[in-house]
Structure 1
Amino acid sequence: MERHGCSRHRHCSFVLLIVVVVVAYLLVGVVPALQASVIAEDDGRALMQFQSLITEDPYGALASWGGSSGSNHSASPATPCGWCGVTCGVRGRSRGRVTALDLRGLGLGGAIVAQSSLSSLTYLRWLDLSQNRLCGGVPTPLPLSLEYLNLSCNALQGAVSSELGSLRRLRILSLILLAEISVRNKHLVMQFNNLTGTLPPCAGNRLPRLKVLSVDRNQLHGAIPVSLCNSSKLEVIQMMKNSFSGVIPDCLGAHLQNLWELTLDDNQLEANSDSDWRFLDSLTNCSNLKVIGLAGNKLQGLLPGSIANLSTSMEFLSIYNNMIHGQIPQGIGNLVNLDSIYMHLNNLAGTIPDSIGKLKKLSNLYLYDNNLSGQIPATIGNLTMLSRLSLNENMLTGSIPSSLGNCPLETLELQNNRLTGPIPKEVLQISTLSTSANFQRNMLTGSLPSEVGDLKNLQTLDVSGNRLTGEIPASLGNCQILQYCIMKGNFLQGEIPSSIGQLRGLLVLDLSGNNLSGCIPDLLSNMKGIERMDISFNNFEGEVPKRGIFLNASAFSVEGITGLCGGIPELKLPPCSNYISTTNKRLHKLVMAISTAFAILGIALLLALFVFFRQTRNSRKGEHALLLISDQHVRVSYTELVTSTNGFASENLVGVGSFGSVYKGTMMSNEEEVVVAVKVLNLQQRGASQSFVAECETLRCARHRNLVKILTVCSSIDSRGLDFKAIVFDFLPNGNLHQWLHPREHGNQTGLSLIQRINIAIDVASALEYLHQYRPAPIVHCDFKPSNILLDNDMVAHVGDFGLARFVDHGQHSLPDISSGWATIRGTIGYAAPEYGLGNKISIYGDTYSFGVLLLEIFTGKRPTDADFAQDLSLHRLEFGVRRMFQQIAC
């Protein structure tokens, strides 16, 4: 049977090789040549239409363009690749197409019409018409492929269309010395480019009707032109993330009465004296002002009191990360429509004004890392829309106001102050607290209220470095989402409550530096996901467990505890037998008797729990896979995934599979945004948990340039209290191969070239070879199909979706499957090997069959399940028919 199968595969491979060679000959040799010739004539015709607008050609530069300037060209033009100033591509899809048009300094004259034929040059990357005598308007539309556009030193005038903003690849734009610019839509938007240089000093004089000026995220420098004050209709100025320097013009507010947004964040702007802050005084004249962004500059000096006199329509005020000192004015409460205040990372002093309680619409208040003192005003409790409060890194004193319990906070940051008194139970009853509740390094006293158990959605609780007493509340076990529990450096006493074992999402537990006593609960060794535990410098006694986290000496600490024994050898603790002295033999016998009774009871419980563990075996295996993968990947929380995908919004949904859905998301990595793909498992679907385990197991081991890259995983509880599992991958922006092979079904305009198809086939073959040669056991993918092959920016193929993958032994038999139900799933109809339908075991030959079907689909564009394969037409007959057709064409 094996010989017959091998010969069959060799025959198929030989036939496939013939098909590929003939397709390459036809499509690479004959068809592209004919197509290129026809398209090149279209480029020539577009250039001749442009030439017809040129009335002055003193040097005869355009004489080579198939006729004299201004003549009527009715005949089809020859290829334009030899014309003056024209450059064509020499390889790839741009071969024979016009890629550059350089006519600078030729003295050309004529009127350029707004609707230009240049848009037909779909491969044009470079357009330089500078230093001529052209008049009229800026030509539009222009090719989307354009990267360089220079129209400077002409006599152009009229409208600059907002369509320039659609040129996403444009790197350099020069419109210097235009006679007049009037913006058609009164918007000049040039965000997210690499524009360099300075804004012309007279920019405002030439843009009298401008309403929106947006040059965010470029590389512009120099001063902000004072002439902008002459653009009296300006409503929006956006210049953030550049390198503008100098002072902010103080005439902005005096002349721009309609201004409602001024964002200058992340530049090099300065204010060193009171006179440099006059711009803020002038902005009080702007009655419509809603947004001011001055963060991340070099502003210093006293914060002007005039900030309280800004328009009552103000919604957003950001001055953080400067060197501003002085006090927050009491009049800040006048800005009753403020939604966000960002004043952190400055040198502000004094107290937080009571009037802040008047800002009923405030949702974000960031004052951290200043020199603020005094008490937290109780009036903050009036802010019934406040979701984020950060007052940390100041010198605040007094107690935490219980009125904070009225605020629907998600984040509460009070660490590193001088606060005293107890933690109010009202604050711990804020059900919306989810990101963090941080009270670290204050002088708080009293016990931790039992109401802490109401924080069911909280991820981080930090009460370390205070003077808390009493026992750890048993209600803490209700905090099912808790990941970081930090209580070190207090005076807590008693035993560790057994309810902590209920914290299934816990990653870090730090109880060090307290007065806790008793034995180390064995339940701590049963916590599967925990990564770090520190219980050092307490009064524990007895044996250190030898399971779970207590097997990894680098993951836990029991330093400074003299009453412990046993544990792993790395701890160098004495054997527990040494602790049974003669005087304690009676006590030891009593302990042994109790232990025996508990052992008998334990056996009974084991029998009772056997069924439970049997039913939850799949869940535990999922956790086991996470433990295996945790040494290489940092786990991510459910809340972080909700935030990154905007609540798993439908607009971020990029695909739906058998076991779950894939969402596009944005996460932070090293202070940079990273686009990711989040695969959320539908655990209600039979086999989904096993699919999660299989994908984690496979991608934990496998590493190859043509396999998808796993970034992290999540095993947690969702907002409904249900189990949640997800895998986070690199986001590959060009979608899957199915979308490119069948573009009309997905609304795409273009498909794949022959070269791209061949490269993709090679990429997939490389991945398949790696999987089948993997040691110690080959990996069988079991579901090769176009929708499981993803393409990156460079159209490099990556094989994904290992939810059905198995390891096989060298005898080509699959190793024991995780569940019999899941094991019956062996691919997709049309792509799965026929022997799988007969119940045969999986093998690498099944993947090879699927790869052959995939190759035929790549080069014919036909799916194995198309309606064309009805009745007597089969994939084999299609293969034969294609080969015969190519033979006839070749003859």
Structure 2
Amino acid sequence: MNIICPSLFILIIHFLSLLSSVLSNSEDRVALLAIKSQITHDPHGVLNSWNDSLSICDWQGITCDTSHPHRVVGLNLEHNDLVGTLSPYVGNLSFLYNISLANNTLGGYIPPQIGNLLSLRYLALENNNFQGQIPANISQCLKLRSLGLGGNRLTGMVPSQLSLLSKLEYLYLYKNQLMGDLLSTVVMNLTSLRQLSASFNSFEGSIPHNIGAILKKLTFLSIGENKMSGTIPPSFYNLSNLQVLDLSLNQLHGTLPLDIGFRLPQLTIFHIGNNSFHGNLPASLSNLTHLVDLSVYSNNFTGKFMFSAKNMPNLESFDVSSNYLGTGEVGDLSFLQTLVNCTQLYFLQLSSNNFGGILPDFLGNLSSDLTELDFGLNKIYGTIPMGLYNLVNLERLSLQGNRLTGHLSPLIGKKLTKLQALNCMNNNLHGPVPYSLGNLSRLSWLYMGYNNFEGIIPLSLGNCTNLLYVSLNQNNLTGPLPPHLFHASMIVELNLHQNRLQGGIPVEIAQLTNLVAFDVSENELSGELPSSLGSCISLVGLFMGGNDFTGPIPQSFKSLTSLNYLQLSHNRLSGLIPNFLANLSLMTLDLSYNEFEGEVPRLGIFTNSSAIIVEGNSKLCGGISELRLPRCPKRESNRRGRLSVAVIVIIALASLIVGVSIVVSVYFLLRTKRKSNKLSHTSLFNTEHFSRVSYAMLLQATDNFSEENLLGTGHFGSVYKGVLDIEGNTVVAIKVINLEIEAATKSFMAECETLRNIRHRNLLKIVTACSSTDFQGNDFKALVYEFMPNGNLQQWIHTDQHERTLSLLQRVNIAIDVACAIDYLHNSYDVPIIHCDLKPSNILLDSDMVAHIGDFGLARFYLDTTANNSSSVAVKGTTGYVAPEYGLGSMVSKEGDIYSYGIVLIEMMTAKAPTSTMFGGGLDLHNYAKSALSEQLINMIDPRLLDDGACASNENKDQKLVGNYDSSKMMCLKLLIESGVKCSVETPQDRMRIKDAIRELQMTRDMLLTNFVSPVQ
């Protein structure tokens, strides 16, 4: 009995264990089937095996534990294109060790029940469509070593509870919409962390000062494209195991230590592009013998580039573009010799720097894998070396914006047969356009404008059937337009502006059905406009002015329903202006200086005098009154003969009645004028929101437009202070238009059209408008604005009429206000609004010193298309603030406003106007600021900012400036001026984006508030 009982007990225990296993197995099966039920699409049938005919351990993607039979420890369904959601039943798989569901299309929320999986080591949910917040319950999985949530649509803050995962080694959060201070609240407690990938989010904060002491195991750190700010702390460079470092596209600043290459010797990827780092690039970078990818583009690095890649055999990508590297002298490019040893190099970007000297012939000895080579926008001179044509795998070659001379060798088409993009614009190249370009069957982008190329356009270009963008403008090309060119039917933009081309437009142009912009203006073309142009139904911009075209506008043009810009000025076109032009979606129409005749239509674009130009056509008549054309003669009846006596009597009686009516009407009208203060008013704003005002009301509000109420005068009129009885006595600014000035009416209409569409905190608010007559019967037009008690920025910068001066903080806030207004105008509507006349006198300040942009008299509505470089609209702005390309006839653009903004920003910091007599002989405010950045900055800034209290608001009594005006404050000023320089570079496409300018200014303001202003002790 004593023997049987223990044996029986063992059998019972074994039975119960088996029973428990069966029950647990059943629980796992139920959970897995619940997971399957939430999968709505299984294109590869990976879940077909999940059925009753197989043990769950034989189901595809399932791993079971050998020590606990039939218990699921692994769920791996990655890369299967599954669609659906993740069932909360996943939390019932209590033995689960690994979940791998990456690279599917799973959506919904991440189940918080995952927190029940206490054995979980690996959770991989990357590259799906999960949304919502990260469940804080995951912090209960204390054994977790890898957490992969990147590539989803997760939002909100990363739960601080995740900092409890002390064993976590790999954290992947990239490409979500997460925010908050990730490093300080979570990461700094993860002492086992080896890899952090958190790029492409909205994380904020700075790099913690003790990061090097805490995260000693870190080998991979990627936090690019976030909102990180501040400097890199010294302890960071103690992370000697770092192999991958990506800090690009943030708001970081400061300098790199001279010994960075010795302190981070394991780096293979070094990305710090698109920040605000400055100073020299340390020569110790040459010590990074494992380097594969170096990317420091779009910073403020300066000086001679002391770099050697002779010990970097693995280097593949090298990008130092958009800095201030180089001295502009011979020897700047000597470091290229060391790249010869980099046999895997495929990407070399040196554009937008100060590199000087000539291109060395040994370029041909660089890696045969090189696919992109960019030397654009430097100070390189000399000829293109023959050795360059040995880089037979080049796909993109950019040499634009230098001082290159000589011919473009035919070898380019014979050896570089893989070229997809060629850009040699803005040089001094001459000679023929190589016929061999026709061999480049992959060529899509061909930019050769602003050179001295001569001869004919090669017929062979028609063989380049992948051409999308062709720019041969501003050369000396002659001969006819070759019909073969139009065989490249994929062309989107064709710019041949300002050459000496002759003949007509070939009918073959009808083949270019994808053509968006076509510019042949300022050539010697002739003949009639081809009807076949009507087949180019994608056209947005058509520019054919300055030629010798004759005949009427073809009826086929009515098919160009996408057309926004039509410029046909300075030709010999004739006939009537077609009524169908009123039905097109035109934004600008220039028909000036032709031989058109007859009545101007009154519909569509013809109702907007600021959008059409018809001057120089002596036989035109009619149209809207603002065009000031003569009335069209009435048509006379051809019927003649005697009128019956009855008809004569009726006409006589009618004439008598009309005559008496006119006399009576005139009498009462004159009497009404004497007794009434209210005249007829035509509202430019047909909404109830705007109050009606008359000439008499404005006269009374300004005390008969007295000198005492005169606030200032401008090109198109005078501005008065007034008090209007609108919802109580309202102080306003009244701009009276001087209608004797040419284009003043157009300015008035442009401002009305603009201001009725826009509302923004930093735009001058319009109260109403008045279009009426004065007491003498003369036309009277005025705009009524919200009154700005602190005047305009011009007064604050250049006069001493104010007791207080603008502090640095106030200037930064004003700069941000103006930038936000520009961003709103440019990017808040389908059709951007271009101000065209941004300057300090048009920036008004309210009682709280908040800036408001005003004066939209030159504003243009503009559609950003590939035609934006075409010369079609001459813009009159203010000398010194007008973008240089406008002087060459280029179309208005966002970049034009950004140039003006850059000049204003520099002027705010220096108190030097761009029209100052100190500028001349090639020196302007932009170049002055740029050169002074590398010299003695203190000599260029506004002396009033050198006062100890200049950085703090004079009105804020709870704050004071800490310390004297030290180098840190100078850095603040330097950053502001650098932003102005970046916005006002000569080449439009290289100007800083307005959103980037806002980001840099906000960063500077944060630094100003953090470092220079503190509570009074």
Task: Pick 1 or 2: higher relative contact order, CA cutoff 8 A, min separation 6.
Answer: 1
If the length of structure 2 is used for normalisation, what is the TM-score?
Answer: 0.44
TM score, norm. by length of structure 1: 0.50
